Amino acid sequence: MPTVELLEHSLMTPRVSRFAFQAPFRHEAGQYVALSALVDGAQQTRYYSIASPPEPSGRIELCVQHEGAFGSHMRSLRRGDRTECSEPGGKMRLLDPARPAVYFAAGTGVSPMRAILLAQLGADPAAEAVLLLGARHSSELLFRDEFEALTDRHPGFRFMPSISGDETGWDGRRGRVVAHIDEAMAGLNSPDAYFCGQREMVAQLRERLAAAGITDERQVYERY
Ligand X SMILES: Cc1cc2nc3c(=O)[nH]c(=O)nc-3n(C[C@H](O)[C@H](O)[C@H](O)COP(=O)(O)OP(=O)(O)OC[C@H]3O[C@@H](n4cnc5c(N)ncnc54)[C@H](O)[C@@H]3O)c2cc1C
Residues that bind ligand X (CB under 6 A): 32, 46-49, 62-65, 67-71, 108, 111, 222, 224
Instruction: Give me the DSSP letters along 42-62.
Output: EEEEEEEE--S---TT-EEEE
Q: How far is CA 211 from CA 75, 90, 95, 180, 181, in A?
A: 42, 26, 21, 15, 12
Which residue number, 192 or 222, has a Cβ lying nearer to ligand X?
A: 222
What is the closest distance, in whole angstroms, from the C-beta atom of residue 96 to ligand X in the complex? 23
Contact 114, 18 (CB under 8 A): no
Query: Alpha-carbon Rg of the chain, whole angstroms?
Result: 17
Which residue number, 106 or 127, has a Cβ lying nearer to ligand X?
A: 106
What is the closest distance, in whole angstroms, from the C-beta atom of residue 162 to ligand X in the complex? 20
Which residue number, 70 or 143, has a Cβ lying nearer to ligand X?
A: 70
What is the closest distance, in whole angstroms, from the C-beta atom of residue 153 to ligand X in the complex? 25
Give the torsion sign (CA, 77, 80, 83, 85).
Answer: positive
What is the closest distance, in whole angstroms, from the C-beta atom of residue 223 to ligand X in the complex? 7
Which residue number, 115 or 181, has a Cβ lying nearer to ligand X?
A: 115
Which residue number, 113 or 193, has a Cβ lying nearer to ligand X?
A: 113
What is the closest distance, in whole angstroms, from the C-beta atom of residue 115 to ligand X in the complex? 10
Q: How far is CA 141 from CA 60, 144, 166, 191, 197, in A?
A: 20, 6, 15, 24, 14
User: Which residues have C-beta within 8 Å of that of residue 41, sequence separation ≥ 6?
Assistant: none
Collapsing DSSP states into helix, strand and coil, what is residue 221? Answer: strand
Packed helices 110-123 and 144-153: angle between N→C axes, nearest 10 degrees: 20
Which residue number, 86 or 124, has a Cβ lying nearer to ligand X?
A: 86
Q: For ligand X, which residue has the nearest CB?
A: 68
